[in-house]
A and B are shown apart, each in its own frame.
Chain A
Amino acid sequence: MGTVTITINGQKVSAQTGQTILEAARGAGIDIPTLCHHPALAPVGACRVCLVEVAGQRTLQPSCTFPVADRMEVQTESVKVVEARRFVLELIFSERNHFCMTCPMSGDCELQNLGYRYGLDHWVYPTYEQAFAVDASPAHHLLDHNRCVLCRRCVRACAELVGNHTLDLRQRGAHTMLCADMDLPLGESTCVGCGTCVDVCPTGALIDKRSAFMAPPSEVERIATTCSQCSLGCGLNVAMHRGRVVRLESLWEAPVNRGLLCRRGRFEALEDHRLRILAPMLTETNKRLHVSWEKALAVAASRLEATDPRRLGLMTTTRVTNEALNLMKKVFIDTLNAGQRGMVDRVCPTFPAAESGRLSDLSESDAILLAGADPSADQPVAAFMIKRAVDRGARLITVGKRPGELAVFAEMHVVPRQLEVAVDALMAADRPMVVYGSGLKKADIHTLQRLAGKARFLALQPGVNTRTAAALSVNGMPDPAACDTLFVVAGEENGAMERLAAGIDRRTFVMAQASYESPLAARADLVLPMAIWLERSGTLTNTEGVLCRAHAALPPTGQSRPDWDILGRLAETLGLEDNPSPNRPERRKHRTF
C-alpha cells in the first residue's frame, strides 16, 4: 500500500491507495454527507448523497466508492455538488412517506438531518400518494416500507454481518421494494430476529417495536456494558431515557462482537417479567419475614460457620461477575472449605497442546469443524460469524447426532461415530479451526486431540462466566442431599435452579442469593435479593478469555444488591479481611449501606 496525496477543497490530504475519497476525507476531518454508507458495511454508492466533483471526471462521482489516486483534486461542497445533492435529496423525499411528525425516529434520522443540512423546506415534486402495508410480523421489530429509502444498509447488514441473507430488494426502478426471502412477511421468513437491520436503518423504516415513540431521540443517553446472556460477552449500548431502559443497541466498537447482537441479547433480555425479590427474607417457624441486610447476613454467617465443612454446599449460576466468583472462592473454598460445590453449567473440555482460537479467527479460517455445541441457539453471534466464514468460502463440517441449524450451511454433516472423517478433512486444510462446546463425549475429545498443533480450538462455554468459574474450581455438581447447609447463588437463573430445588433435602438449610421469585427462592430459608445484569457493574471473562467490562445502567431494584456486593458483605460478616482487588473498581462507589 502506497501513500498518495490528494487535494480536497484546496487542502492537501494524505491517503492510502485503495482508500475511497470518503475515507480519505473523513481521515482528514473533512465531512462529506452520506446516507447509504455505513462504516461496518461494504460501500455500494446507492444513494448518491456523497457525490463530489473530481477534476478530470466528466460527471460527479460518489465518494464512498471512488478510489483515491495521486494528485487527485476533489471538491466536496462546490456549487455544482451542493446543487446535485439537493436534487438527489428532493428525489429521495419525493417517494414514500417522509413526514417527520408522525415518525418515531424524528430527531435521530439521517434523511431528516440531510434535509436540514441542505435546507429542504418544501416538496419540489408532486406529493406522493402510494401507501404500503407495514410488516409488523416479527416479534420485536417492524418494517415500514413507507419510510424506506432503499439504501440497502439492512440488506448488506443481513448478508455481510449476520450472514443470513434474508433481506433483499425485489422489482426495479421506481417499483423497487425491500423484501424478505421470496417476498414473505418478515415473521415467516428466515429472519433470525437479531435486529441488526434496525440498528443500521438510517430512517424509520426498520424500528424496534418496544421503544417506538417511547423517548425523544435527543434525550436518549447510552451506557456501554456487556451482554450477560451467553458466554460471548458481546458489548452493547443500553439506551436510557429518564432512568428507564428504552432499548439495547449495537456498540460498533465492541471488540468481541463489533456491533453484532442476537435476538436474545438485543430484545429478549428486556422481556423478563418474572417477579423480582425486593428485600432479604428469612423463614422462621414456617413464617417468612422481611429482615434487614444486617440480620440476613448475620444469620448467613453464623449458619455457614456452624456447618460441618463436608456437609456445606455452594451452588452457583455462571451469570455472575468475576468479582462475585472470586469472592465465592475466597469464602467457600479457601476459608470454609465447602465439601460440596458446583455450578449449573457444564464446562467445555480442554485440549492440551492445542492453540486456542478467538472468534475473530473465524474470519481467517478455511475449514471449521463444529462439534458438541449449537451456537445458533446458545451463542447466536458466533453462529453469525461462522455463517460469514462460510460465505467467504470456508468449509464447515458439523458434528452431532442430529444436524443442527448450522448444518444447512455445512459442506458435510457427520454423526460423532464418523468424527474421524471430519478430522481428516480438517487435517488437509490450511487454517482449520475447531469450534466445540460442552457436549463433546470422551471418545470425541480423544479423536479431536489429533488436530492439536494443526487447528485452533475455540470453546463455546455453555454458561455466561463459565470460564472464570471453572478456573476457580467452582465446577462440578453438588449433591444437594449431602448438604446440611446449601448456599445458592441463583441470580437470574431459572430452569436449572428449579431442578436443583427439587433435589434438596427437607432438613437442609438453604440460602438463596436470587433476583427473581422461583421454586428455589420459595424453598430457601434465607433469601438475599440480587441485582440483575443491568443493575450491576463488574467484569466478565468471555469464552475466549477476553475481559469484558459491565457498567450498571440502573440502580438495583428494591433492596437488591450486586452479586459481588452481597458476597463481599458476607465475607466481612464472617470476619474475612476486605481487600478489594484491582479489578473491582466499582465496589466502593456502590456501597451505600
Chain B
Amino acid sequence: MAKVLIATDWLAACAGCHMSLLDLDERIVALLHHVAFTSSPVTDLKHTPPTGVTVGILTGAVSNTHNVEVARRMRARCRYLIAVGDCATFGGIVAARNLVGTQAALRRAYLETESTVNGRIPDSPELGRPLETVTGVGDVVKVDIFLPGCPPRADDFHYLFAELLAGRIPTILPREHLRYD
C-alpha cells in the first residue's frame, strides 16, 4: 500500500506544536512505515506539493493576510485538514491581541517600546498585512479535525495518526487527548 502523504505548515505559531510532533521520538520511525512527510516548516522542503497530500496539518492562528493564503493553499492541497494546537483551533495566545486591538499592538511593538528610537511599523508589500481580528483556522477554511492543546502532547498526535491510519476520522476526541493548556 502506498504511504499516506502528510504535509504540515504553520501560521502565526510559536513552533511548539511542531516540537510536540517531534516529541513522538522513536515512534516517528514506526510511523514512517506508513506515512511520508512531504514538507513542513522544520524540514528542507517547506511547501506543500501542488500535487496534493492526504493529510494537511496547520498550527498557529490566522493573524495576517499571509496566514490566510497559507491556510487556503493547504486546504486546496489536502484531503483532510487538521487544525492543531490552541492557536489553530481557538486563536490561542495570538488572539490576546484582539483584547488590545491590532493597531494598538503594532504601535506598542514598533513605536512605543522603551528601547525603540525612530521606530517604524513595517509596511513592505512583501509582508502579510495584520488582520483586525485574530481567529482560529476554522474561521477561514473548513477544518475536518480539531486537536487543541498548548501544545497537544506527542501522545495526542500518536492517537490522531493511529486513528487516521485505521481509517477513522476522530472528530470527537476522547477526554485523555483533549486539552486546552
Contact = CB atoms under 8 A, between A and B. Distances in A.
Which of B99, B135, B150 has most A Cβ within 10 Å?
B99
Interface in A96-114: 97, 99-103, 106-107, 112
Contacts, number: 74
A393 B108 CA distance: 56
B172 A119 contact: yes
B100 interface: yes
Interface residues of A, number: 23
Contacts of B135: 126-127
Interface in B32-88: 83, 86
A555 interface: no
Given A115-B180, A119-B178, A129 B93 contact: no
A116 B177 CA distance: 10
Interface in B134-181: 134-136, 138-139, 143, 146-148, 150, 172-173, 175, 178-181
B83 A122 contact: yes
Given A119-B172, A131-B99, A99 B178 contact: no
Contact of A127 (B100, B136, B178, B179): B136
Contact of B89 (A122, A126, A128): A122
B95 interface: yes
A122 B147 CA distance: 9
B136 A122 contact: yes
B175 A116 contact: yes
B100 A131 contact: yes
B101 to A, nearest CB: 8
A112 B180 contact: yes
B95 A102 contact: no
Contact of B181 (A101, A126, A127, A129): A101
A101 to B, nearest CB: 4
A97 B86 CA distance: 13
Nearest to B99: A131
A334 interface: no
A100 B172 CA distance: 20
Contact of A101 (B86, B138, B147): B86
B136 A116 contact: no
Given A99-B86, A101-B93, A121 B99 contact: no
A100 B91 CA distance: 12
Given A101-B181, A106-B180, A122-B143, A129 B90 contact: no
A101 B92 contact: yes
A55 to B, nearest CB: 28
A117 interface: yes
A232 B136 CA distance: 53
A100 B99 contact: no
Nearest to A121: B146
A129 B104 CA distance: 14
B20 interface: no
A87 interface: no
Interface string A113-155: 0011101011100111111000000000000001000000000
B121 interface: no
Contacts of A112: 180
B93 A99 contact: yes
Given A122-B89, A122-B146, A129-B98, A101 B180 contact: yes
A122 B100 contact: no
A130 B133 CA distance: 11
A107 B95 CA distance: 21
B22 interface: no
Interface in B99-152: 99-100, 133-136, 138-139, 143, 146-148, 150
Contacts of B95: 99, 127
A129 B180 contact: no
Given A102-B93, A122-B89, A127 B139 contact: yes
B96 interface: yes
Contacts of B172: 119
A116 B146 contact: no
Nearest to A130: B99
B181 A100 contact: yes
B45 to A, nearest CB: 29
B91 A127 contact: yes
A101 B95 CA distance: 12
A175 to B, nearest CB: 18
B133 A127 contact: yes
Interface string A343-359: 00000000000000000
B148 A122 contact: yes
A97 B99 CA distance: 9
Given A121-B146, A123-B138, 16 more contacts: A99-B91, A99-B92, A99-B96, A100-B86, A101-B150, A106-B181, A107-B181, A116-B180, A121-B173, A122-B136, A122-B143, A122-B146, A123-B136, A127-B139, A129-B99, A131-B99
Interface of B: 83, 86, 89-93, 95-96, 98-100, 133-136, 138-139, 143, 146-148, 150, 172-173, 175, 178-181
24 contacts: A99-B96, A99-B180, A100-B86, A100-B150, A100-B180, A101-B92, A101-B93, A103-B181, A106-B180, A116-B179, A119-B173, A121-B146, A122-B83, A122-B138, A122-B148, A126-B135, A127-B90, A127-B95, A127-B134, A127-B135, A127-B136, A128-B98, A129-B98, A131-B100
> Which 5 residue pairs are nearest across A and B when measured between Cβ atoms?
A131-B99, A100-B180, A121-B146, A101-B150, A106-B181
